[in-house]
């Protein structure tokens, strides 16, 4: 990329999520203007009454702002870990769920719903089992103290199918009137159940994971050369791989535990990023974060405003993401691969 | 003086079935050390041991007097650069992105290469004759160009030893010559030490003809059958014993330069 193009793309990638963030707060059945948002934020900061109605303040601060923020974080986390995993596994078809984090989280959530009959512990269980699934995959794929890309992917695939089977088992055992719908909806993914406390708790692993991936992002280039070359280029392959897996898992588990399983982002967003900034992870990881945030905010806005009810987020990301991806593929003639 | 020394090295993926056994040699600074031998004689496995990728069952490898097993990957890469036999292309990085990875050990912390390191990568590209290739996608290069890019990456590493595993395996005559000219330049001008595995015995003669200090280790069934200068090792009788072929050597004085070469003749049943 030429320096001027780089500057333009960087500016767009910074401006776009901000635009989407404030845009989604305006959109909905209860109309909020941009002025309302800024006045409310100003009021929150200074304590001076700015003359915005109490309902508007509630809609902004209690409902839309946390939801927009959560959407942005979930999208950024899934986009970044998708990019990280694609480089790590040297495979453009890999997504953030490759090591079983989504399946594990799904099982954790279903287990919490069946055991406690409440959604209160769901995020915690989802997070815990998401992490557990990745640890199991890592050790399943570890042979003689090293883990090659192939055995790691195999380990992930095996653990994924085990947890998928366990999810089916829980669905089968669940009370069909009360628990089964909750499990099913959770698995479709949604930002509808945003509570402010969730946002802040899930923020910690997501922020940690994303910071880690940002710090390690150049190493992803080197790791994508394969174990042998990465080693001779001077990096500790085992330690760097483990660190990337740990950070990507933290981010994904943090995202999945509040949003449920939202497919597509970890697969498609890095490819959109590649078309914009190329393959150098120095640019690709932050670009995937920005684009992921925009994509989730956009899809979630459709989820809550297209119909009277809420459409699950996972459905919309796939329905929008699929055709959009085909469009991009045709437009760039697949040159990014 | 030696820069790389193998002491009684043995290795097998299965300890009871060694791929090579009791290998000892010393590589001197500023020479090209060629490892030759039939397919499956253990060349690549031996190279993997020198790269620290497999741990020997027995014996040690010393790099500049230090035990290889004690070197951290970063310290290793500062001394030894590697050009792989084959490279699986995954993502279409630009050529410059690939070459600048040679500066990984020179980047501080976890950072990415800065402008001066990218400049260093550009110089390497120029030195292998690929100026203007910086922004090309490396997935769209020909096999010969890719090989030159990988050599440029190794050159960017600023290590004093370069290990090449069959560097001309898939190349045409022209690119083979380009690689040999670069290797000659690396030794004569950059004062590098080269270890290379090769199937092309005339490459050893090429180096000898170009007055590059060259030694050859002939491997056979996991052991070293002969070691010495190309003229000492690549002989009719050695090739008959190890490769089971008849061959003939000759010289040409085309352009007024004496050049030695070898021609394989026939399989011996």
Q: What is the DSSP string of A107-129?
A: HHHHHHHHHHSSSTTHHHHHHHH
Residue B245 makes CB contacts below 8 A (sequence gap 6+) with B239, B264, B265, B266, B267, B268
Q: How far apart are CA B159 and CA B105, in angstroms?
A: 10
Which residue from A90, A221, A237 is facing B97, i.e. has the nearest CB? A221
Q: Using DSSP, state whether B104 is helix, strand or coil.
A: helix
Of A108-122, A248-262, B170-184, the one with minimum mean pLDDT is: A108-122
CB within 8 Å: B112 and A278: no
Rounded to the nearest integer, the mean pLDDT of chain B is: 93
- What pLDDT is attached to residue B150? 96
Report the CATH architecture of B4-267. 3-Layer(aba) Sandwich (3.40)
Three-state secondary structure call for residue B228? strand
Split at pLDDT 50, 70, 90, the class of A44 is confident
- Which of B84, B97, B157 shows the shortest C-beta gap to A280? B97
pLDDT at A334 over 70: no
| C-alpha angle B225-B228-B229 in degrees, rounded to nearest 5 | 135
Q: Report domain extents, chain B.
A: 4-267
Q: Is residue A165 part of a domain?
A: yes
DSSP three-state, residue B261: strand
Contact (Cβ atoms closer than 8 angstroms) between residue A182 and residue A113:
yes
Q: How many domains are there within chain A?
A: 1
Contact criterion met (CB below 8 Å) for B109 and B163: no
C-alpha A96/C-alpha A256 separation (Å) is 10
* Chain B CB within 8 Å of residue A172 CB: no
Residues B135/B96, Cβ–Cβ less than 8 Å: yes
What is the band of A324 on the pLDDT scale with cuts at 50, 70, 90? confident
Tell me the pLDDT tens digit for each residue of A14-43: 999 999 999 999 998 888 888 888 888 888
Cα A202 from Cα A210, distance rounded (Å): 12
Chain-centre distance for alpha carbon B229: 17
Partners of residue A222 in chain B, C-beta under 8 Å: 101, 104
The reply to whether A139 falls in a domain is: yes
Residue B226 pLDDT exceeds 90 = yes
Which of B78, B92, B112 faces A279 most closely, judged by CB atoms? B92
Phi and psi for B211 in degrees, rounded to 5?
60, 30
| Nearest by Cα to B181 from B208, B210, B219 | B210
CATH number where A194 lies: 1.10.3470.10
Given a cut of 90, is residue B237 above it in pLDDT?
Answer: yes
Among A52-56, B84-88, B261-265, which range has the highest average pLDDT?
A: B261-265
Q: Which of B116, B121, B162, B184 is nearest to B133 (CA)?
A: B121
Within-domain flag for A280: yes
Residues 219-258 of A with CB under 8 A from B: 219, 221-222, 224-226, 228-229, 231-237
Q: What is the DSSP letter of B103?
A: G
The torsion angles phi and psi of B264, rounded to 5 degrees, stand at: -75, 140
Pairwise CB contact (< 8 Å): A279 & B97: yes
CB atoms within 10 A of CB A144: 6
From chain A, the residues in CB contact with B88 under 8 A are: 90, 226
- Residues paired with residue B193 on neighbouring β-strands, in sequence order: B161
- Residue A5 touches partner B, C-beta closer than 8 Å: no
Q: How far apart are CA A55 and CA A57, in angstroms?
A: 5
Phi-psi region of B109 (alpha: psi -120 to 50; beta: other; left: phi over 0): left
Report chain B residues whose CB lies below 8 A from the CB of A225.
87, 101
Is the residue at A19 inside a domain?
no
CB-CB neighbours of B4 under 10 Å = 22
Between chains, do A279 and B73 touch, taking CB under 8 Å as contact? no
Look up residue B112 and give its two tokens.
């990415």
Comparing CA positions, the residue from A55, A96, A29 lying closest to residue A256 is A96
Give the integer Cα–Cα distance in Å for A149 and B44.
21
* Cα B240-B243-B245 angle, rounded to 5 deg: 50
The partner residues of B251 in beta bridges, in order of sequence, read: B260
The label of the residue with tokens 């392959």 reads A237
Contact criterion met (CB < 8 Å) for A278 and B94: yes
pLDDT digits (tens, 9 = 90+) for A181-190: 989 988 998 8
Scanning A276-315 for CB atoms below 8 A from B yields 278-280, 282
Q: At a CB cut-off of 8 Å and minimum separation 6, what does B185 contact?
A: B127
Residue A337 has pLDDT above 70, yes or no: no
C-beta neighbour count of A53 within 10 angstroms: 10
Which residues does residue B34 pair with via DSSP β-bridges, in sequence order?
Answer: B196, B216
Q: Is-contact B47 B217, C-beta < 8 A? A: no
β-bridge mates for residue B163, sequence order: B82, B195
pLDDT digits (tens, 9 = 90+) for A79-106: 999 999 999 999 888 888 889 999 999 9
Whether residue A234 contacts residue B105, with contact meaning beta carbons closer than 8 Å, is answered with yes
Q: What are phi and psi of A96, to 5 degrees?
A: -65, -15
8 A C-beta contact, residue B154 and residue B121: no
Phi, psi of B94 (to 5 degrees): -75, 160
Contact assessment for residue A336 and residue A275, using Cβ atoms and an 8 Å cutoff: yes
Q: Tell me which chain A residue has its CA closest to the CA of residue B103.
A: A233
pLDDT of residue B151: 96
**Residue bearing tokens 């719908």:** A181
At residue B111, the pLDDT reads 84
| Assigned domain for A115 exists | yes
Residue B69: alpha-carbon gap to chain centroid? 21
Query: How sure is the predictor about A315, in pLDDT bands with cuts at 50, 70 and 90?
Result: very high
CB burial of A226-236 (b: ≥16 within 10 Å; e: otherwise) equals bbbbbbbbbbe
Give which of B68, B91, B100, B103 to mutate to test A binding, by max A Cβ within 10 Å: B91
Position A336 pLDDT exceeds 60: no
pLDDT band at A147 (very low <50, low <70, confident <90, very high): low
- Is it the case that residue B121 has pLDDT exceeding 70? yes
Residues from B contacting A (CB-CB < 8 Å) are 48, 51-53, 72-74, 76-78, 80-82, 84, 87-88, 90-94, 97, 101-102, 104-105, 107, 110-113, 137, 157
Q: Range of A173's domain?
A: 71-332
| Residue A45: both structure tokens together | 């900061």
Token match 């653990």: residue? A159
d(CA B101, CA A6): 20
Min distance B110 CA to chain A CA atoms (Å): 6
- Return the residue in A85, A90, A145, A232 with the most chain B beta carbons within 10 A, the one to mutate for interface testing: A232
Query: Is A91 within 8 Å of chain B by CB?
Result: yes
According to DSSP, the residues that pair with B228 across neighbouring strands are: B216
B-chain CB neighbours of A282 within 8 Å are 112
Examine the pLDDT at A310 and tell me if it is beyond 60: yes
């Amino acid at each position: 990329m030429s320096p001027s193009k780089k500057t333009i793309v960087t500016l767009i990638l910074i401006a776009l999520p901000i635009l989407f963030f404030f845009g989604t707060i305006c959109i909905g059945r209860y109309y909020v203007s941009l002025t309302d948002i800024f006045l409310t934020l100003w009021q929150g900061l200074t304590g001076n009454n700015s003359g915005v109605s109490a309902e508007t303040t509630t809609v902004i601060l209690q409902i839309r702002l946390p939801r927009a923020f959560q959407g942005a974080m979930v999208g950024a986390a899934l986009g970044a870990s998708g990019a990280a995993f694609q480089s790590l596994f040297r495979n453009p078809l890999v997504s953030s769920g490759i090591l079983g984090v989504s399946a594990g989280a799904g099982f954790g959530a279903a287990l919490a719903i069946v055991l406690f009959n409440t959604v209160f512990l769901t995020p915690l269980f989802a997070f815990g089992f998401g992490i557990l699934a990745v640890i199991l995959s890592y050790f399943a794929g570890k042979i003689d103290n090293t883990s090659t890309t192939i055995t790691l992917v195999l380990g992930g695939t095996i653990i994924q199918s085990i947890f998928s089977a366990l999810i089916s088992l829980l669905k089968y055992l669940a009370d069909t009137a009360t628990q089964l719908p909750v499990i099913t909806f959770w698995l479709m993914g949604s930002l509808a159940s945003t509570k402010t406390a969730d946002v802040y708790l899930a923020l910690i692993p997501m922020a940690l994971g994303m910071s880690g991936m940002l710090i390690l992002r150049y190493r992803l280039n080197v790791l994508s050369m394969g174990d042998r070359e990465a080693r001779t280029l001077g990096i500790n392959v085992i330690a760097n791989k483990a660190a990337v897996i740990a950070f990507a898992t933290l981010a994904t588990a943090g995202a999945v535990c509040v949003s449920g399983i939202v497919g597509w982002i970890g697969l498609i967003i890095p490819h959109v990023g590649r078309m914009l900034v190329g393959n150098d992870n120095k640019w690709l990881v932050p670009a995937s974060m920005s684009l992921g945030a925009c994509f989730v905010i956009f899809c979630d806005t459709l989820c809550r405003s297209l119909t009277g009810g809420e459409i699950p987020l996972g459905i919309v990301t796939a329905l929008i993401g699929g055709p959009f991806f085909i469009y991009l593929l045709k437009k760039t003639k697949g040159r990014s691969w | 003086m030696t820069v790389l020394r193998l002491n009684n090295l043995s290795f097998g993926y299965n300890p009871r079935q060694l791929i090579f056994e009791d290998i000892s040699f010393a590589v001197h600074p500023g020479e090209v050390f060629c490892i030759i031998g039939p397919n499956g004689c253990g060349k690549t496995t031996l190279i993997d041991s020198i790269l620290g990728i497999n741990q020997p069952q027995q014996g040690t490898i010393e790099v500049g007097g230090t035990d290889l097993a004690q070197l951290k990957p970063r310290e290793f890469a500062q001394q030894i650069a590697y050009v792989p036999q084959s490279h699986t292309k995954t993502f279409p990085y630009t050529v410059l992105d690939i070459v600048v990875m040679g500066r990984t050990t020179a980047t501080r912390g976890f950072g990415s290469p800065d402008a001066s390191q990218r400049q260093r990568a550009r110089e390497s590209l120029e030195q292998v004759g690929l100026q203007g290739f910086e922004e090309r996608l490396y997935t769209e290069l020909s096999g010969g160009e890719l090989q030159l890019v990988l050599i440029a990456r190794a050159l960017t590493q600023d290590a004093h030893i370069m290990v090449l595993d069959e560097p001309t395996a898939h190349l045409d005559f022209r690119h083979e010559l380009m690689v040999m000219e670069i290797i000659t330049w690396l030794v004569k001008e950059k004062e590098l030490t080269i270890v290379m595995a090769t199937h092309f015995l005339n490459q050893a003669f090429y180096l000898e003809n170009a007055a590059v200090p060259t030694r050859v280790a002939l491997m056979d069934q996991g052991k070293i059958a002969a070691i010495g200068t190309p003229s000492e090792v690549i002989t009719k009788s050695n090739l008959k014993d190890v490769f089971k072929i008849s061959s003939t050597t000759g010289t040409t004085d085309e352009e007024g330069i004496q050049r030695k070469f070898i021609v394989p003749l026939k399989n011996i049943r």
